[in-house]
Amino acid sequence: MIYGSKKAPLTVAYRKRRALLGASVVLTLLVIWGVHHIISLNQFAHVGTPQLAVIYAILFVMLCAQTVYGYFERPHTATDRQWERLQALDVAVIMPLYNEDPTIVRESIESMFRQTRPLQAISVCDDGSNLVDYTELQHWFEQECARAGVAGYWTRTPNGGKRHAQMAAREHVAWCHVYAMIDSDSLLDPKATEEALKAFADPEVMSVASMVAAANTKQNLFTRVMDLWYVGLQFSDRSVMSRFNSVLVNYGALAYYRAEVVDENIDAYLNERFLDQEMRISDDSLLTLFALLRGKTVQQVTSWAFTYMPTTFKHHKNQQIRWMRGSFIRSMWRFRYLPLGRFAFWGHVTKWIQYVLASIAVVCVVATQDLTNWKTLLLLLLIQAGIYYGVMLRYLSIRRNDESPWYQLGTWAMTPFAALWAGTFLRVWRIYAMFTCVNMAWGTRGKVEVTAESVAA
């Protein structure tokens, strides 16, 4: 028997005042870092490493500009007249499904029925799951759709991958104006759709990325730190790109697209190849690229979804390497197809410059600095921790209904662990992913990875 969740729906409140307070603190941290930067330039120049001083200076300027600019991001809004037009749009959820825990899938669907701006359709495609029987869940789904007055479609296809499942689900809702692409473990904040649609008040906006947080932050220390890291990235890198209407990647947990973005690129989406291999990864970034080529891509900081983070090292590693392989391949596509006149292209170039310079800096520090000197090592670690604390400070601008302020503050205090993880494991995995990008195996769903029972345990 399939049991639904009796928990209250997860919600997030975005606090503008806290964001402004955070901005003032970050500016203070940047000033302090600047003082150290001047001292460091002098030290590096005298120990024979002027190249490191130059790299340090460039990274300093780039990160300052990125951090400060991202803090001035504002939620997209709509006037009463614009909202009337947005209310007339038919919105459909498209959800591919493969070997996901039935209880989690039901929680996801329940969150769709709770939307303050009702959906017009929900289309689920079971991509040939071989470990789970969804018969009972499908029956419940059809009953709930009829009760809610929502057009519901549940189909099953032979296993063909996420993209094929998405397009099979799309066939039933091609009459809609907006597609909400979600993963089968996504839990939607009740206001997710209402807030996301406000960005479509601008007719040039082609896609809206919702914010994504972990649903299972309290499962273990690992999921808690990863929640901090992912939310922090959205509030830094993606916030800057959104301010220039140039978001490069929408997370698969929840993103909204104008129907024509998908409808006019079905063949390219289903038949993408790389080095004569079928692309079975990086689907969300390709949809975002299609949207970028048509118009603006933005992030809505008041639209939230929750996803279940990997709970084991192996699952996390496989997921990250798969994402990084896809990211590397998609990067080539962006260099090839993005217009030179768009900020998206130059923002992408800037990200690569930052990555290369940061990697060089790490090598230079290891090669030229006396890391056996505990004072030097401690100073370097404290500097990096301070920088990341500033970048991640916007994590405190949100309020989750399932966490106390003190719990959230404790999560933010773990920033050095997230920074250390990113600077070691994630950096090494990214290099590995670049050299093995032709290996496009899914790699994380040979079994049901996360279950409702494990989360509740």
CA dihedral 147, 308, 427, 325 (to 10 degrees): -40
H-type alpha helices, 88-161: 102-113, 135-148
Residue 20: its pLDDT value, please? 58
Task: Read off the pTM.
Answer: 0.91
User: Strand, coil or helix: what is 187?
Assistant: strand
Residue 70: its pLDDT value, please? 80
Specify the length of the chain in residues. Answer: 457
Residue 198: its pLDDT value, please? 98
Residue 420: its pLDDT value, please? 86
Residue 3: its pLDDT value, please? 46
Please report the domains of the chain, with CATH numbers, ordered by start residue: 80-343 (3.90.550.10)
Q: Which residues of the chain have pLDDT under 70?
A: 1-7, 17-53, 56-57, 365-380, 383, 441-457
H or E element in which residue 348 lies: helix 343-368
Is the four-CA dihedral 305, 310, 311, 313 of positive or negative sign?
negative
Rg (CA), the chain: 22
Question: How far apart, in whole angstroms, are the C-alpha atoms of residue 433 and residue 140?
Answer: 41
Residue 316: its pLDDT value, please? 93
H-type alpha helices, 250-342: 259-263, 266-270, 283-294, 313-337
Question: How far apart, in whole angstroms, are the C-alpha atoms of residue 199 and residue 258?
Answer: 11
Residues 149-182 have pLDDT tens digits of: 999 999 999 999 999 999 999 999 999 999 999 9
- 222 touches 317 (CB < 8 A): no
Residue 296: its pLDDT value, please? 98
Residues 92-116 have pLDDT tens digits of: 999 999 999 999 999 999 999 999 9
Q: Note the Cα 7 to chain centre separation in Å.
A: 25
